[in-house]
Structures are given as structure tokens and as C-alpha cells.
Structure 1
Amino acid sequence: MHVRLQVKTAQTAMKAVVLLSGGLDSSTVLYRARADGWDCYTLAFDYHQRHRCELRAAAQIAEAAGVCEHRVVTFDLRSWGGSALTDDAIAVPEARSLDQMSASIPVTYVPARNTIFLSFALGYAEAVGAQCVFLGVNALDYSGYPDCRPDYINAMRAVYRLGTRQGREGEAIAIAAPLIDFKKTEIVRLGNELGVPWELTWSCYKGGDVACGVCDSCRLRLAAFAELGLRDPVLYATE
């Protein structure tokens, strides 16, 4: 879904809440929303994930994009685990082929994560008077996460309409997922057009001084840059 601003004046500025993980997809969505004229308010989430790199990246991207406000919501999902991103006892998959990635929902899936994120975003959006929530989910990313698919996003749009005062009064907060049908190469190409500072982003599932280069997220990202004949400016341990 591409929510494009039609009219914007000083009196009718359009506000958008953008879920910003600091990765390739969410950073591209932020720059897309900004280019379309939205006043952007970004949300990042410290849910005690495996590393802090993405939180630092999100803050740097938000600053580079000149957002109106950047907030970090903190809560703890490590206590119940259930994912390689919240439980150190579960290994992050490495060196998998694209076919292996698409075979089943991987252990890097965090139970109900996007539902949790979108719930916070809804409350924040209604509080600041935003008309739209943007997020960078992608259904063609081989991971097959259940909360990155079109039917899920459509269901959450109904929640946004039914669960808020704005929605009940006929002014429901929209959910925009402009990259949901994009290939990773198309996202990189769009990000280049929009001037996304890739060197500030972080996609790796592991923490460290440099990205690992072998987890699913790194491999998908590196493959996209390589297919376009580009070099990813992020440093990788495999280089």
C-alpha cells in the first residue's frame, strides 16, 4: 500500500508514525514517507533482543532523515524466549540457501512481534494525531514470517479501525506497507533513489563490531546488492 500525500500546507501537515528498526527495509520506508511529504515520527523497540546494533542504527537513521521525533519503546521479551533473537540458547541459522530460507518459518521469528509493535504504534499515532503508520514488512523476503504477509496487514487495518476513537469516528489511522510486494533488489534500488545512507543501517541478526555476513538477513542483503552490481558499504566479517 502506498499512501501518498495529496495536499500539504502549514495548517494541514500530515503526520506519520514510522516503525524504524535501523535495517534496510524500514530505513527505505522512512525515506519514502519523508519524500512523499509526511512529517515523520519514528518508533524503535528495545525488547531485549540479541544485540543493540539495530537500536544505534535506528537512532542514526532518524537523525539523518531529520524526523520530528524519535522514540524507543522498552520492554522485555527475553524472559519467555521463543526466538533466536530473544534466546541465546537458540542458534541463529547460518549459510543457508534461499531455498532453505523459504522452506519454513525460521527460528528468528519472534512470536507476535509485529502485532506488539503495531499496537504501540497505534497508541502513539493516535496520541500525536498521526494519520498513518508506516512499516517495512516484505512478503517476498524468503523468511516467510506470518506477520509480514498481506492478509495479516489487512487484518491489522481492521483492528486500527475498530479499536480507536479515530476509527470509530470515521477517521481511521491507515497502515502503509509500501514494500510488501517488493523484491530485495527493488528495495535497494528505491533506497538508492531516495538517498538512504546504507552505511548507517544494520541488518545482521547477530551483534558485533561488524555484520556477520552469514545469517539469513545478511545473505539476503548481500545478494541484493550483488545482483545490482553494487557494493554494500556496511562492513562484514566475511570480507
Structure 2
Amino acid sequence: MSSPHTAPPQASSQRRALVLFSGGQDSTACLAWALQRFASVETLGFDYGQRHRVELDCRQTLRHELQARFPQWAAKLGEDHLLDLSLLGQISNTALTEARAIEMQANGLPNTFVPGRNLLFLSFAATLAYRRGASVLVGGMCETDYSGYPDCRDNTLKSLQVALSLGLDTPMTVETPLMFLTKAQTWALSESLGGAALNELIIEHSHTCYLGERTQRHAWGYGCGSCPACELRARGYAEFKAGQV
């Protein structure tokens, strides 16, 4: 896995990438990051029975707006794919897949942790990328501003990158441009990629709230304002606007 700052965009210009694109802030920033660097970029979403399924409805709007507002990226944005992983929701017992209160568990993890989610996501993504001729998987996993999810850790994803490359018998790179960024720095990254216009797009059209709330509009976007995802996004936006990046 490489850092988002280790290679100039031209070094990756001929490679094809597949972005895990949920319709949230982080995956939208990652999509812009990939469009800036790779010759061709496709997107992949997963329907796993998440309570905030409204995020899936945001995906096509975000793709359309990116193409309309950023013509330099429009020709690079390829097909979108949506996989039905409802089985994951069936075998999970979490606050992301059931109408339960969000709380910490005895093991120190919040009950929003969906065991194996990112492992499955990347395994399916690698299978699709192999068929589509892409050699780079891009995900918004992050160690800095995250809820303690073990499948978001850099070491987890480095290990998975090795396993995927061995299992497919072809190099498969897992890129995580947000891995060591705070949420405020993620806002700064998207601004550096697409200016204020990209951040405005993220505020208006992306979705992060775990409860799927889109009737309340805040300075940082739509959401309940009180779930962990909303609190993190709001705090990061406030720090970004205050220049604390």
C-alpha cells in the first residue's frame, strides 16, 4: 500500500482503478483522488442491508455531479457496479444493520462494527477488478478518525493486499488515501483536489449519517447530528473551517 503523497499523479496515469464508493464523504474524496491519478476509474457499491441505505441513493447523483462539474474527470469515470451482499446483513448483529441503539460493547468496539465487512468488500472488489482489467482498489478506510474497527487498520489492509495478489496471481494494489488523515484533513484533501466546488458537492449530495437521516441540513451536510458518524463529520468540518488541519 502506498501513501497518497508518495507518487505524483503521472506515475499512475496508465493504471485502472476500482473505487469502493458508498456515497459518503470519505468515498467521494477517494473517488476524486483516484480520478486525479488514474487513466480509468470505475466505482463499486454494496447493498448489505445497512440502515443508512439512503447512501446508495446518493451514489448516482454524486457521479453525475462530478462529471458535470469537473469535465477534466468526466472522461475517466467509467462504469458503476452495485453488488447485493444482503447475506452480510443476515449474519450480522449490529447497529448498522438492525434498528438498535448505538453503543459500546464489552469488547471495546462500538456495535456499529460489522465483522468482516471490509474484508468481504475488498475480496469482491478484487474479483471484479480482475475481470475489468483494473489493478488498483481504492477505499476510504482510516486509522486516524475511526471507531476502532480492526478491518480499517493499515496492517489489516496490507495483509489483505498480499493475500489478494497471491490469490489472483496478479499484483493488486490496495490504496487508502485517507488512512492517516483526520476528518479535517479529509476536508482539506477534497478541497485541494476540486476546490470549494468539490466540498460543496460533498456537503449537499453525500451521506454519512448511520441512521439514514436526510431531512436535517447542517453546515457540513445532512444527518441526525448525534450519531458517531455525524459527530465526527461535524467536528472535522469545524476544525477544517477554523484552519485546524
Whether contact under 8 Å (1:82, 1:111) holds in the other structure is: no
Find out whether 1:219 has 2:231 as its counterpart: yes
Q: For residues 168-204 of structure 1, give each alpha carbon's deviation from its aligned partner in whole angstroms, at most 9, with x where no partner exists.
A: xxxx011101110111110011112222321111010
Q: For residues 15-69 of structure 1, give each alpha carbon's deviation from its aligned partner in whole angstroms, at most 9, with x where no partner exists.
A: 1000011111111011011012341100000011113211012222223334201
Q: Distance in 2 between matches of 1:176 and 1:72?
A: 20
Identity value in percent? 33
**Paired residue for 1:86?**
97
Q: Distance in 1 between matches of 2:92 and 2:158?
A: 27
Q: Which amino acid aligns with 2:209?
A: C
**Paired residue for 2:84?**
74
Whether contact under 8 Å (1:204, 1:215) holds in the other structure is: yes
What is the TM-score with the length of structure 2 in the denominator? Answer: 0.81
Distance 1:144 1:5, change over 3 A: farther
| Unmatched segments (≥5 aa) in structure 2 | 68-76, 216-222
Q: 1:113 Cα shift?
A: 0.2
Find out whether 1:161 has 2:165 as its counterpart: yes
> What are the equivalent positions in structure 2 for 1:39-50 lying under 5 Å apart?
39-50=40-51
Whether contact under 8 Å (1:83, 1:109) holds in the other structure is: yes
Residue of 205, 208, 212 corresponding to 1:203: 208
Q: Distance in 1 between matches of 2:191 and 2:12?
A: 26
2:160 aligns to what SS in structure 1? helix
**Paired residue for 1:186?**
185
> What are the equivalent positions in structure 2 for 1:168-183 lying under 5 Å apart?
172-183=171-182
Q: 1:120 Cα shift?
A: 0.9
Q: Which amino acid aligns with 2:212?
A: G
Q: 1:7 Cα shift?
A: 6.2
**Paired residue for 2:53?**
52
**Paired residue for 1:18?**
19
Q: Distance in 1 between matches of 2:208 and 2:152?
A: 16
Q: Which amino acid aligns with 2:98?
A: D
- Give the superposed CA RMSD: 2.0
Q: Distance in 1 between matches of 2:28 and 2:61?
A: 10
Q: Distance in 2 between matches of 1:82 and 1:74?
A: 18
Q: 1:152 Cα shift?
A: 0.2
Q: Which amino acid aligns with 1:57?
A: C
Q: 1:5 Cα shift?
A: 4.1
Distance 1:160 1:80, change over 3 A: closer
Whether contact under 8 Å (1:27, 1:201) holds in the other structure is: yes
